A and B are shown apart, each in its own frame.
Chain A
Amino acid sequence: MEKGKIAAFGEKDIMLIFKSAGVDVFPVSGNANVPEMENHLKTLVSEGYSIIFMTETIAGKLDRLIKYYSGKITPSIVVIPGPGRSSQYAIRELRRAIIKAVGADVMAEEKTGIK
């Protein structure tokens, strides 16, 4: 077991609550551009953060990088709901993983009503 750090990456409002819990926070303003955020995330990973919380709004923009990291053991990127309406990013991502593994969408039963 080795020591890991936790980071939170997202809108300032949400970061405040994470900060109070002792998580290292990295607020991002809403109009930051994508390459900038990607670099930021890469630095966080290279600094050894093993869990990174990220808001949905930002995760949507950094989709490519998140997919890249999803195949690696570290970091674990956890997408949390951001301000505004939920985009169901995490659920979609979960569903994608299942389709990849099983070859069929086993979570789709809700839509069809068959269980």
Chain B
Amino acid sequence: MIQNINATRMELLRLKKRLQLAVRGHKLLKDKRDELMRMLLEIIDEVKELRLLVEKEFRSILEKFVLAKARIGPYQVEQELLMPSKKISVMAGQKNMMSVRVPQFKREVSGDIIPFGYLNTSGDIDIALDRFDKFIEKLLILAEKEKAVQLMATEIEETRRRVNALEYKLIPNLQETIKFITVKLDENERSTTVRLMKVKDIVRSH
């Protein structure tokens, strides 16, 4: 119950309005939480699969690259890759999912990934770079999705707290206070009636 409350009709009306609002907010937040949870569970498997795939593929590309590097010598490789001809950047946008803003990336590339002549390098390095070129698209998708999962998780936690606070604290509190004021006002009314009856009795006996 809310402490220090005036048991007046005005207060009662005010509290009733607040309760109405709280109940409405509670329902909306609950819906939001459920929908967010559904969306999270939907993408979670996707993200997990993508993550495992990315890790596996990256390892195999790295392996190929390291082997190639060992074959033609680290110094040579560094020389060849010193001036990359490929440029990559992203267009970052935002998508609104149930009031959670998640980033969206669109890649913009120019140039070829192989900046060197074929004379001094082995074929392995070409293959590794070529595969990596295709692979980077997946990395960007992963960046987008993992971020979405993190942001949604934070939002769900926040919403859940709000829902719980409303459900278990604010709404029962308001209900109890409204009940208290109603009872108090009824009691006052009864005592007024009784007093009036008493007064009437006294007046009549004179």
Residues of A that sit less than 8 Å from B by CB: 1-6, 13-14, 16-17, 19-23, 50-51, 53, 70-71, 73-74, 76, 78, 80-81, 83, 86, 90-91, 94, 97-98, 100-103, 106-107
Contact = CB atoms under 8 A, between A and B. Distances in A.
A53 B142 CA distance: 11
Given A3-B92, A73-B101, A107-B48, A97 B150 contact: yes
A20 B48 contact: no
Interface of B: 37, 40-41, 44, 47-48, 51-52, 54-55, 58-59, 61-62, 65-66, 69, 77-78, 81, 84, 86-94, 101-103, 105-106, 109, 111, 113-115, 128-129, 132-133, 136, 139-140, 142-144, 146-147, 149-154, 156-157, 160
B84 A97 contact: no
Given A51-B140, A51-B143, A100 B157 contact: yes
Contact of B88 (A21, A78, A106, A107): A21
Contact of A20 (B81, B89, B94, B102): B81
